[in-house]
Structure 1
Amino acid sequence: MIKKLLALLLVLNAVLSYAETIKTDVLVIGGGASGVAAAIQSARSKVPTLLIEQGPWLGGSMTAGGMCILEANRKNPAGIFAEYRNHIRKWYKPRLGYDTTSNAPLVFEPSMGASTLKKMVDTVKNLAVKLNTGFTAIKKDGNGWEVSITQNGQTDIIKAKVVVDATEFGDVAAKAGAIFTSGFDSRKDTGEQLAPDNATNQIQDISYLAILKDYGRAADKTIAKPAGYDASRYTCLKTQDIKKLLAAARLPNEKYLINWANCGNQYSVTAEDLQPENRADTYNKARLRTLGLIYFLQTTLGYKNLGMAEDYPTPDKLPFIPYVRENGRAAGLIRMVIDDIYSPYNRASQLYRTSIAVGDAMPGQFYSEERVPHINYPPFPAYGIPLGSIVAKDMENLLVTEKSLSVTHLVNGSITYPSIQMTLGQGVGAAAAYCAFFKTSTKNLNVRVIQQEILDYKGIIMPFNDIATTDPDYRAIQQVGASGILQAIQKANGNSADVLFMPDSSVKTADIQPMMIEMYARAFLWFNKEKPGEVFTLGNLLSYISEMNLADPQTLQKTMAASWKTKYKFTLPFDVKRPVTRREFAVLANRYFNPFARRVDITGKLIN
């Protein structure tokens, strides 16, 4: 007995001595689209960062899950997402037929997408990456966190100042004790008129996507009949134009993404089905649903030449993980509601001022359960994602992303789209780096400093569809837009709505006066004295700048006239009597009285 105890003690001592304690400033758990972007931005912000991912690939839903046709944010590609997009396009550009027009969806093979992300992270200083590394536990460690991970059968400890939960299901925040909700919110709970009367736990279907390849007319790539195969599940496909479905989801190298609704490869779930103890069983059933679809396509519909591509080294060639559209949503410092998208300027909270990323995807409603409410969204505009939605409530220095943001169900259907998550990840990384770099916590976030960091790295905070990141006045327009002095205009365009800055249109006095008076005490006196007309002139703007800066009006006018086309590159003539354009106002306001410098709190209210 004594010998056995001694042997056991020796083994335990060996294990404990081999376990490693790793220290880092920022730990990102989950290598999906948002996790990779968050880790890259945090490291670029000169903060030591560690990214761990339980699987063998980076990219989450868009690579390991196969969602490799990205339509969202193509009008607003910026920052890290734009880098990724450019790398993919550069690789495929020589291939005949690859669409590189400015607003084309981003299309790629999953393996190519994953290898591109790996190359990107490998070039970033201050960033370490661990693949095939699982997360097991988290607990508070002073102002930071202590996280347990497993790799190659070994358990290690990571001590981090800030943790980002970028897992598919919010597992980290859940284990830390964050409060979650799932399914439809009720109208009474959120105040959203589009919400149903009653809450429900139903969430959007998951889908095991499939990548098929055309092996030629003579090939027979028919798979074995899947267990429990029931052809009746797929009979609605007999009335579909299969060639059209395939053409709409064509990938490079004669491949196709199979992501079909109705009787395709969607699998109905509730949040309970995706709890850790139920996932394996749910995944298995979803895989069989997709394999049944492929078998039906090959046999009943006669497409035996379409076989499983070799992108994934799994036994059945399906992706490593299913495409999960939503799960639980963590309680945050604020909760973003659908009215923050449709009416950002007409609310008590001014969350648009705290935006750290943008999105524009039409909310998905992928339900095979017939009794689920259908939401009739009005034309859907691009929107800003507020900083407070990524900060877990009462969980200091814990940030959430992917499916766990503090938003309502109606918002969630858009915000979890992979290209939006990659854009958001950059903002998350900037927020995490802020806390670590300044040795502070999520209780003391400085919205403007975080937004400045995002813009420093060519990110985006305001969703102006008509102002490209390459525009020479991009930054000034972004900053003045975030102040609220010049507000965006929404114009319906089919099911969506363009969000426009309209740089060449004239500034209306009524549009800018309320916000300027709110921001600057002396503005009230100036408006009462000058009484500008309906349209704000260039002369009015120069007069206001003189008032704010105590500059001599004549000297300012001479200086401005001399630098009008040389320094500012304005195209219209310098004429103090004509209406000032929104572009001119934004550039000069940003330069001379800088409304963006006015600090705001987490709700967007001005801090006096």
Structure 2
Amino acid sequence: MCNVFTGKFFLIVALFSFQARFAAAQQYDVIILGGGASGTTAGIQASRMGAKTLIVEETEWLGGMLTAAGVSAIDGNHNLPSGLWNEFREALYNYYGGPAAVETGWVSNTLFEPSVGNKILKKLADEKQLTILHKAKCTGVNKKAGLWEVTVFQNKKTRTYTSKIIIDATELGDVAALLGVKYNIGMDSRHETNEFIAPEKANHFIQDVTYVATLKDYGKNADKTIPKPQGYNEAAFANACDIADPLHYENPNSNCHRMMEYGKLPNNKYMINWPRDGNDIYMNVIDSSAAARAREYEKAKLHTLRFVYFIQTKLGYKHLGLADDEFPTKDKLPMFPYFRESRRIQGLVRLTLNDMLEPFSQKTALYRTGIAVGDYPLDHHSNENKDAPKIDFIKVKIPSYNVPLGSLIPKDVDGLIVAEKSISVTNIVNGATRLQPVVLLIGQAAGSLAAISAMQNVEPKQVPVRAVQKALLASKAYLMPYIDVKPQDKYFDAIQRVGATGILKGYGVPYNWANQTWFYPERPISEYELLQGLRTYYPILDGFQGSGRALTAGYAWQAFSKIDSTLTEDKFSLMWKNISGEKTYSATAAVNRGLAAAMIDACLHPFDIPVDMNGIPLK
């Protein structure tokens, strides 16, 4: 956590040591406070784009919730291999020996040992323009003459670093709060967000926290039973073996062995992160002091140790003990708990449930500004808070979705970008955007935005949406969550660009634990569908006629030439042959959705028309 002073005349003796005040500050383009999931990917992306970047991380690991908090089972995005999330997963495949080697537990398609995740992220972060300070504590942030001054305590020394842009990638949004950014905590009122399932009145209840444990199989004859923890009560874990799927089943389904296989990791280790009478615990330390947080963390640790003792004694897994080769801690537990929820800033835009349910029918068009994709349901953990309203969010059926750029940018503080789980979304939406792949991609987008902002010397809110999206596409990241168009596909970039205009729309399908949006590139498209989409950007077509007939190349040219009078049929035919791969051009050739997107992209370049943070074209 940082101490923050933004006025001109505050006493700074407590903030800076004598040495730091008079030493020349080391200069960076971007400073990232927090080397968690989003902070790591933000640093990699910004540095790859040429920005001199610094990550300040309090632990000796990278990865945050994926590694240092022990949540090493990926939730969602298995079929959306976007950007740095995909690079991380491919590195896991290479390390363990392929996809099957990491499908060890039934909760996820990708499970790994936390220490391995840390090693892989450190390797990915080995970039020339990226510096990482481990075991370093930010002790102050001050803005002076348009630059951020960040003071850092490391190895018993205090140093000052400056940058044009800072990214708050802390677990709980601490930097944004101390800089005066307005934020929300807890559940929103339906009257404020217009979300039908939100509670009548707002409250400060957040999701449960979990102090994860990693257990290791020491062999069938081993006895790794820990001392009986203080306050242990077997009855507290009475329903721990209930593995009923909340998406489909109402009745308990007891299977203790299968419960243990939930988070089985490679090399006979087990992630203990179990919600039902397991080690979830309710606490809200978001606005607490560091000392108060530490006290609550000890309570969370104790609760997890009680569950571990239950597993070892009542369930008979005494050969499973706390892994001695994972976390660099005395107690063999992770460095900090798994926070599912943090502050949520008031950003330039806010993503709501309605934007997820019906992205193409809102007054705004936030989908056009997408910078990260996700497919997980609205998964809220709130069983341990007996006072919280009991709302079954997970059964609200949403398709896959994207996260808008403006949700990373605070309304009221310049030079700051917010990542991790503190972006501008509603409490309900946070149940989906909090998951690991989405947070990794949010970090990558934050890094892109920061690099452009710093190198062009403009505020983040002034960076064109399309500039950030182009940088992400160049990194093989998704803008739109199309399950059936992969980065290696011929028309991937064109379909992503045209999809982000809304001229051709995808079809959302809620589907179990991996929601979907389909583009259907092979499906035929009608003249009418093409015209309806083009008219949203090109009103000149309002008088142009189209029917329900299947689209042909000749009709596409006629429509396009109404928009661009310089597009002759000869020019069009050359582009057609180049894009379609056909040797000859025929005006009667059928056009499917994929080819239509590629031709729209090549002939009209609608993605180059700027949009504002709400996705409204700037014409």
Q: Is TM more than 0.5 here?
A: yes
Deviation at 1:23, TM superposition (A): 1.1
Q: 1:301 aligns with which of 304, 311, 315?
A: 315
Contact 2:17 2:158 in 1 (8 A): no
Between 469-478 and 510-519, report the one with greater CA deviation: 510-519
State the match for 2:4 in structure 1: none
Distance in structure 2 (CA, Å) of the matches to 1:498 and 1:371: 34
Distance 1:194 1:579, change over 3 A: farther
After TM superposition, the structure 1 = structure 2 runs for residues 149-548 of structure 1, keeping only pairs within 5 Å, are 149-237=152-240, 240-271=254-285, 275-310=289-324, 311-367=326-382, 368-372=384-388, 373-376=390-393, 377-494=395-512, 497-525=515-543, 527-528=544-545, 531-548=546-563
CA distance in 2, matches of 1:560, 1:169: 50
Report deviation, 1:274: 5.1
Q: SS where residue 69 of structure 1 aligns?
A: coil
**1:16–1:40 distance in 2 versus 1, CA, 3 Å:** closer
Deviation of 1:270 (Å): 2.6
Greater alpha carbon shift after TM alignment, 145-154 vs 164-173:
145-154
Moved more, 127-136 or 160-169: 127-136
Residue type of the alignment partner of 2:538: Y
Question: Which stretch shows the higher mean deviation, 552-561 or 398-407?
Answer: 552-561
Shift in Å, 1:241: 1.8
CA 505–574 in structure 1, closer or farther in 2 if over 3 Å, else same: farther
CA 1:548–1:118: 2 relative to 1, 3 Å? same
Q: 1:74 aligns with which of 78, 102, 106?
A: 78
Contact 1:271 1:328 in 2 (8 A): no
1:331-388 Cα offsets, whole Å, 9 max, x none, are: 1111111111111110111111111111112122211123423134432211111010
> Shift of residue 16 of structure 1?
4.6
> Distance between the aligned counterparts of 1:333 and 1:288, measured in 2?
40
Greater mean alpha carbon deviation, residues 243-252 or residues 284-293: 243-252
CA deviations on 1:31-88 (whole Å, 9 max, x unpaired) are 1111111111111111111111111100000100001010311111121111111111
The change in CA–CA distance for 1:285 and 1:19 in structure 2 (over 3 A counts) is: farther
Work out whether 1:602 is the aligned partner of 2:613: yes
Q: Greater shift after overlay, 442-451 or 542-551?
A: 542-551
Q: Which amino acid aligns with 1:500?
A: W
TM-score normalized by structure 1? 0.92
Secondary structure of 2:142's match? strand
Q: Is 1:51 aligned to residue 55 of structure 2? A: yes
Which whole-Å CA distance do the structure 1 matches of 2:467 and 2:504 have between them? 21
Tell me the amino acid that sits aligned with residue 279 of structure 1: R
- Report the more deviating stretch, 515-524 or 439-448: 515-524
Partner of 2:598: 587
- Give the 3 Å change call, closer, same or farther, for CA 590–161 of structure 1 in structure 2: same
Equivalent residue for 1:116, pick from 100, 116, 120: 120
CA distance in structure 2 between the aligned counterparts of 1:346 and 1:96, rounded to whole angstroms = 40
Query: What does residue 5 of structure 1 align with?
Result: none
Secondary structure of the corresponding residue to residue 576 of structure 1: coil
CA distance in 2, matches of 1:584, 1:180: 44
**Cα distance change on mapping 1:203 and 1:388 into 2, 3 Å:** same
Q: Secondary structure at the match of 2:95?
A: helix
Deviations 1:398-437 (A, max 9, x none): 0111121111001111111112111121111111111111
Residue 107 of structure 1 is matched in structure 2 by 111
Shift of 1:446: 0.4
Q: Which amino acid aligns with 1:293?
A: F
> In the alignment, is the contact (CA less than 8 A) between 1:143 and 1:396 conserved in 2?
no
- Look up the equivalent residue of 2:613 and give its one-letter code: I
Aligned to 2:37: 33
Secondary structure of the residue that 1:159 maps to in structure 2? strand
Residue-by-residue CA offset, 1:177-212 (whole Å, 9 max, x unaligned): 111211110101111112111111111111011111
Checking the alignment, whether the CA contact within 8 Å between 1:378 and 1:495 is kept in structure 2 is no
Q: Could you report, residue by residue, the CA deviation over 1:292-346 in whole angstroms, capped at 9, with x for unpaired residues?
A: 1111111222211111112112222111111110021111111111111111110
Tell me if structure 2 keeps the 8 A contact 1:43–1:49.
yes
Within 1, Cα distance between the matches of 2:339 and 2:29? Answer: 30
In structure 2, the CA distance between the partners of 1:13 and 1:54, relative to structure 1 (3 Å rule), is: closer
- Please give the alpha-carbon distance, in whole angstroms, between the structure 1 residues aligned to 2:315 and 2:321: 13
Residues 532, 356 of structure 1: alpha-carbon distance in 2 compared, 3 angstrom cutoff: same
Amino acid paired to 1:284: E
Q: Name the amino acid aligned to 1:257.
A: M
Aligned to 2:28, what secondary structure does the other structure show? strand
2:270 aligns to what SS in structure 1? strand
Are the structure 2 counterparts of residues 578 and 196 from structure 1 closer, same or farther at C-alpha, using a change threshold of 3 Å?
farther
Q: 1:358 to 1:98 in 2, by over 3 A?
A: closer
**Do the aligned partners of residues 512 and 271 (structure 1) sit closer, same or farther apart at CA in structure 2, a change above 3 Å counting?**
farther
The worse-fitting range, judged by mean Cα deviation, of 20-29 and 502-511 is: 502-511
Q: Please give the alpha-carbon distance, in whole angstroms, between the structure 1 residues aligned to 2:219 and 2:494.
A: 54
SS at match of 1:74: coil
Q: Is the 8 A contact 1:380 1:496 kept in 2?
A: no
Q: CA deviation at 1:219?
A: 0.5
Partner of 1:135 in structure 2?
A: 138
Contact 1:570 1:584 in 2 (8 A): no
Counterpart code for 1:374 = I
Distance 1:327 1:558, change over 3 A: closer
Residues 93, 99 of structure 2: 8 Å contact kept: no
Gap regions ≥5 residues in structure 1: 1-8
Question: In 1, distance between residues paired with 2:305 and 2:131?
Answer: 37
SS in 1 for 2:428: helix
Q: Aligned to 1:28, what secondary structure does the other structure show?
A: strand
The structure-2 alpha-carbon separation of the partners of 1:226 and 1:84, relative to structure 1 and needing over 3 Å to count, comes to: same
Q: Please give the alpha-carbon distance, in whole angstroms, between the structure 2 residues aligned to 1:159 and 1:552.
A: 50
2 CA distance for matches of 1:586 and 1:303? Answer: 56
What is the TM-score with the length of structure 2 in the denominator? 0.90
- Unaligned regions of 5+ residues in structure 2, if any? 1-12, 243-253
AA aligned opposite 2:602: R
Instruction: Give the secondary-structure state (helix, strand or coil) at the position aligned to 1:606.
Output: coil
RMSD: 2.5
Of 555, 574, 587 in structure 2, the residue corresponding to residue 559 of structure 1 is 574
Q: Which moved more, 1:230-239 or 1:460-469?
A: 230-239
Change (3 A) 1:95 1:126: closer
What is the DSSP-based 3-state SS (H/G/I as helix, E as strand, rest coil) of the residue aligned with 2:240? Answer: helix
Please give the per-residue CA displacement for 1:266-287, whole angstroms capped at 9, x wherever unaligned.
Answer: 0112355755342101100000
Change (3 A) 1:272 1:43: closer
Partner of 1:3: none
